[in-house]
Amino acid sequence: MLILTALLFLGPTAARVPASPLALEQEARSVRERFVELHAKQDAEGCKALWKASPHEILYTIDEDLEGALATWEKSPEKPDSATIAALHARALWGARMASEALGAPIFLDYASAFAGQTDAQKKQFRSGQRSHGEARAAVKAGDWEKAQAKARECVEHAAPLGDWWGHAMGLSALGTAYSGGGKLAESVAPLGEAALIYRNLRLPGDEYVALRRLATVLIETGAKPRARTVIERALELAQVLGDERGRTELEKLQKTL
């Protein structure tokens, strides 16, 4: 249980790629700039090549336009800047389509189209889901497991019907963490496993890694050793990709207990 408790407070996102924070910031900015240029030229093949080279940046890049459109609407819901919103949505949808085609991953276009098609009420629901997630994380840090579970469930309930796969995964991950922290180990398996799978489809290796490490310890403590071995193998792959030597060492120690 000590290992599990320690893992509850891993950050929500490990490093995107094995690089320094400054290098990561520079890479993200470079990918974003190239994406904007490629869209302006409608260079579909160039965009597909960009996504294949930097799959971990796809969601962050297109989400900048989606969140930008939502923020624009929030400035004046009664008389929104429709032209700006439409332009941001168009670029995000184009990028998401290129990503889905390039990687064979329909989730990107599904996520972007769902976001772009939100009604005014759904926009508010989306923000409510974000707030619930923040409250769930705060409750986890405070060790208030009942509140954390309730707020995490709220997040999932807000995000799932909207096609907000990212928010859905965040809620599930928080729920699994809250369950395990509160001693409900068996209940934590499903949300952690589902969160890891969604993160993998979204090409978010850091978030997948965190969910898998939590899942591995829960599986061991509940006696599901065959699945734990598989989860640890995948987590070790990600530790290598992310350059997490300390995490790799800890996972190898867990592996030796099976």
Distance CA 34, CA 46 (A): 9
Q: What is the pLDDT of residue 170?
A: 98
The answer to whether the CB of 107 falls within 8 A of the CB of 165 is: yes
The count of other CB atoms within 10 Å of the CB of residue 121 is 8
How does the average pLDDT of the chain come out, rounded?
Answer: 91
- Whether the pLDDT of residue 38 is over 80: the answer is yes
Burial class (CB in 10 A: 0-12, 13-18, 19+), 23: exposed
At 28, is the pLDDT very low, low, confident or very high (cuts 50, 70, 90)? low
Per-residue pLDDT reduced to its tens digit, 45-92? 999 999 999 999 999 999 999 999 999 999 999 999 999 999 999 999
Long-range contacts of 95-98 (CB under 8 A, 24+ apart): 95/35, 95/39, 95/47, 95/58, 95/61, 95/62, 95/65, 96/62, 98/44, 98/47, 98/48, 98/51
- DSSP annotation of 47: H
Element (H, E) at 198: helix 185-201
Q: What is the pLDDT of residue 9?
A: 39
Which residues fall within 8 angstroms of residue 210, CB to CB, at 6 or more apart? 10, 11, 12, 13, 14, 173
The answer to whether the CB of 169 falls within 8 A of the CB of 195 is: yes
Q: What is the pLDDT of residue 254?
A: 94
Coil, helix or strand for 12? Answer: coil
Which residues fall within 8 angstroms of residue 192, CB to CB, at 6 or more apart? 172, 173, 176, 177, 180, 211, 214, 215, 218
Q: What percent of the chain has pLDDT over 70?
A: 89
The answer to whether the CB of 84 falls within 8 A of the CB of 135 is: no
- Whether the pLDDT of residue 233 is over 70: the answer is yes
